[in-house]
Structure 1
């Protein structure tokens, strides 16, 4: 017995007071109508209709059951309608995890305009530099920076790559001088992002590669705190250049080692599956792509443990 069809048959017979009328409404033969009613009654162990050759009427048990069936079928229909709407436009709750500084410096100011364009969407944005488990923690999307994508079964779409710069305040450079080579960083006060996987900074200049172990006087898990320390003239730090772009433009900070470069950090949108990608997730990814510099390579999949 197909329970859903049987419930629809029961409802139509009850509302039409006729097996034949119910069959015409549902496009089923009289035999199919009778079979579904009989199987439903057998499943419930109770008689739902009183039948004569001239009329059909509900039993007391049938009338009680009908109220619940009508409510249940109507709720299912509403759910299907909402899903159809959700497949066409961004609706419902969107849960996103993103690094704090990336959001604050690159796209959080544009979120009110994004939500204004999508009035049926509710955004829950969790800002943290720690990685979340998308499935376990119930996130639709995570924004993460990683040079090594792990095969987790998740989808990773590259959004951009963040270039790095070594910078400091002019006051600090006046007191301590400007390093001419990466190795001279060992003589300076360095500020380290403590969530980085390595305490070594790697620099390249044509065919030369220099790696510098960083014995930082100040390690901190927030790039915003690093920016505060840089502005205060505490020391030098290797930090994503977009984070400090406004400070560099205003002259509050200056770059050093400009003839050396470090590898840019790829930024990915991570989500559970590309199948049935909902409009709300697609809309937020498009929003991020508009806020961030374009990626240099297309979407990738080996997934990412996020």
Structure 2
């Protein structure tokens, strides 16, 4: 069925309900001649007369009466569809599909969802956790949480929090292998590799030495490659090597002293952030907007995972 056929059916239903072309035209915001043309085209397409017209009255034919019942259902469905869309556009309702990197989702998205859902009682959340890149449009997600430096994309991005990557190792590993004093010394160390790192086996650092900012890129190597940050942290705690991970994964382990931070005078040379990304739209849906605003407030400019890093955790 074509859209113009549905429109004509709604016009016909209004004409019958209101008892004339003039009243239907006024209700629909159309001219009387436009309403008359819609009915004539509909009768031509159906090959039967729906209305008997005289100068004084309008009556429905037998075929028109049978057709009217069906047109009423179409009109009701069209109104219900419009009301449903309007209802969803007014407040956060319905299903919100979210994708997040596994470690960040488990540590910082999932624990916050009870508070978020309590704030939005008409909203449902479907949270998918994995560390592979996803296509939001093709896979049907409303938004995704992406970590690090964003590439060029048609997606809209909102920065939820800063991201720092910290270098660290377990005390027993350092007792065996020694403590690096400069990023270049990492070439002689067993490094724990992240499978999805876009720079491959190159770690970047930045430092201010003698008032001059310097960038250092180090080609590292290691026998263990893992596709998840929390698994890398566990391997590091077990003394398997040196790790470079976001602070939202490792800050607790550093503050507890189970691993020791290395090269604190050197910052991550590939700064990025924690971003919410979603398809571009003229009208951002309330459910996406409220999710983004909630986590912007929860994380803030100095997220709680960074504020728990004390000076005692920084070991030269």
What interval of TM-score do these two structures reach, taking the shorter chain for normalisation? 0.7 to 0.9
List gaps (5 residues or longer) in structure 1.
296-306
Q: Secondary structure at the match of 2:90?
A: coil
The answer to whether structure 1 residue 214 and structure 2 residue 220 are counterparts is yes
Aligned to 1:282: 289
User: Offset of 1:11 from its aligned partner?
Assistant: 0.9
For residues 157 and 33 of structure 2, the distance between their equivalents in structure 1, rounded to whole angstroms, comes to: 53
CA 34–164 in structure 1, closer or farther in 2 if over 3 Å, else same: closer
User: Offset of 1:16 from its aligned partner?
Assistant: 4.2
User: Offset of 1:21 from its aligned partner?
Assistant: 5.2
List gaps (5 residues or longer) in structure 2.
303-316
- Supply the RMSD in Å over aligned alpha carbons: 2.5
Deviations 1:176-234 (A, max 9, x none): 33222222223322111111022111222213433221111111111111111122222
For residues 56 and 230 of structure 1, the distance between their equivalents in structure 2, rounded to whole angstroms, comes to: 85
Alignment of 1:149-160 (within 5 A): 149-150=151-152, 152-160=153-161
Aligned to 1:269: 276
Aligned to 1:251: 257
Bigger drift between 56-65 and 261-270 goes to 56-65
For residues 159 and 176 of structure 2, the distance between their equivalents in structure 1, rounded to whole angstroms, comes to: 41
For residues 52 and 211 of structure 1, the distance between their equivalents in structure 2, rounded to whole angstroms, comes to: 88
Q: Which structure 1 residue ranges, 4+ long, deviate > 6 Å from structure 2?
A: none
User: Offset of 1:18 from its aligned partner?
Assistant: 4.5
Alignment of 1:52-71 (within 5 A): 56-71=58-73
> TM-score, normalised to structure 1's length?
0.85
The answer to whether structure 1 residue 161 and structure 2 residue 167 are counterparts is no
Aligned to 1:189: 190
For residues 167 and 49 of structure 1, the distance between their equivalents in structure 2, rounded to whole angstroms, comes to: 83
Check conservation: 1:107, 1:291, Cα contact below 8 A. no
Deviations 1:145-195 (A, max 9, x none): 242521x32222222321111112223223333222222223322111111
> TM-score, normalised to structure 2's length?
0.83
Q: Which has the higher contact order (CA 8 A, sep 6+)?
A: 1
Check conservation: 1:106, 1:291, Cα contact below 8 A. no
Alignment of 1:15-30 (within 5 A): 15-19=17-21, 22=24, 25-26=27-28
Check conservation: 1:91, 1:120, Cα contact below 8 A. yes
For residues 217 and 164 of structure 1, the distance between their equivalents in structure 2, rounded to whole angstroms, comes to: 21
Equivalent residues, number: 294
Deviations 1:40-86 (A, max 9, x none): 21132222124466654433332332222211211111121122222
For residues 24 and 87 of structure 2, the distance between their equivalents in structure 1, rounded to whole angstroms, comes to: 29
Check conservation: 2:150, 2:272, Cα contact below 8 A. no
Deviations 1:228-262 (A, max 9, x none): 11222222101111211211222222101112221
